A and B are shown apart, each in its own frame.
Chain A
Amino acid sequence: DAKTTQPTSMDCAEGRAANLPCNHSTISGNEYVYWYRQIHSQGPQYIIHGLKNNETNEMASLIITEDRKSSTLILPHATLRDTAVYYCIVPSTDSWGKLQFGAGTQVVVTP
């Protein structure tokens, strides 16, 4: 898997947008960027993934830079329930399904 680098933690005010960065400078041309989150001691939850173009779903938006060396997960209107550890993962194409979770970013949404 391409190595990813995320900040250890970040705070966000409730109702504001949360922008979570991820660096993946060694990503290969056909590798996707995936985002998961884990609310305290619960099972991780898939959020979104993308290859080149920006992606949006009901949970979040994913912005991938043109050179694909970094991406940003955007939670448009953070709520207290968005407090979680967020993982940015870039699985290699020869290890489908073998997700490697790093330490992630602890996001705390405050009232």
Chain B
Amino acid sequence: DADVTQTPRNRITKTGKRIMLECSQTKGHDRMYWYRQDPGLGLRLIYYSFDVKDINKGEISDGYSVSRQAQAKFSLSLESAIPNQTALYFCATSDELPNEQFFGPGTRLTVL
């Protein structure tokens, strides 16, 4: 079984809809991250959490929110999706070595 799972893997939605992307991990890591990747570009950090009670904004947090429901679960929400949020979204985890991150398979989100 995969250590970091993301659901859904693919999602098509319409402008203005609320969307939640979920991430679960079985690695027992405290730290979790959300990134987005646009075609042909590198990843950009949206939010990160170093433990259940800790939430931090990343480089591009506007239009997104997150929830850390448990050590193993970190959800990303788009309150009102817009077309320029169409992207590939990755969740990642790390232990006490935060720069060694383990990534999930990604969620491809299309906003029409």
A contacts, CB < 8 Å to B: 32, 34, 41-46, 49, 87, 89, 91, 96-104
Inter-subunit contact B104/A49 (CB<8 Å): no
Q: Which stretch, B14-22, B61-69, B70-78, B92-100, touches the partner chain A?
A: B92-100
Inter-subunit contact A99/B105 (CB<8 Å): no
Residues of A close to B4: CB separation below 8 A: 43
Besides A49-B99, A98-B59, 20 more A-B contacts (Cβ < 8 Å) are A34-B99, A43-B92, A43-B104, A44-B92, A46-B102, A96-B98, A97-B33, A97-B94, A97-B98, A97-B101, A98-B45, A98-B58, A99-B45, A100-B42, A100-B45, A100-B59, A101-B44, A102-B42, A103-B41, A103-B42
Inter-subunit contact B92/A98 (CB<8 Å): no
Inter-subunit contact B88/A41 (CB<8 Å): yes
Interface residues of B in 39-56 (CB under 8 A from A): 40-45, 48, 50
Output the least CB separation between A64 and chain B (Å): 16
Given that A49-B100, A97-B98, A99-B101 are contacting pairs, would A44 and B43 also be in contact in the complex, using a CB cutoff of 8 Å? yes
Inter-subunit contact B42/A45 (CB<8 Å): no
Residues of A close to B44: CB separation below 8 A: 101
Given that A34-B99, A91-B99 are contacting pairs, would A101 and B106 also be in contact in the complex, using a CB cutoff of 8 Å? no
B contacts, CB < 8 Å to A: 4, 31, 33, 35, 40-45, 48, 50, 58-59, 88, 90, 92, 94, 98-106, 108
Which one, B31, B41, B58, B90, contacts A43 given CB within 8 A? B90
Inter-subunit contact A101/B99 (CB<8 Å): no
Residues of B close to A100: CB separation below 8 A: 42, 45, 59
- Listed A/B pairs (29) with beta-carbon separation below 8 Å: A34-B99, A41-B108, A42-B106, A43-B90, A43-B103, A43-B106, A44-B92, A44-B101, A44-B103, A45-B103, A46-B101, A46-B102, A49-B99, A49-B100, A87-B42, A96-B98, A97-B94, A97-B98, A97-B99, A98-B58, A98-B59, A99-B45, A99-B99, A100-B42, A100-B45, A100-B59, A101-B35, A101-B44, A103-B42
Output the least CB separation between B26 and chain A (Å): 15
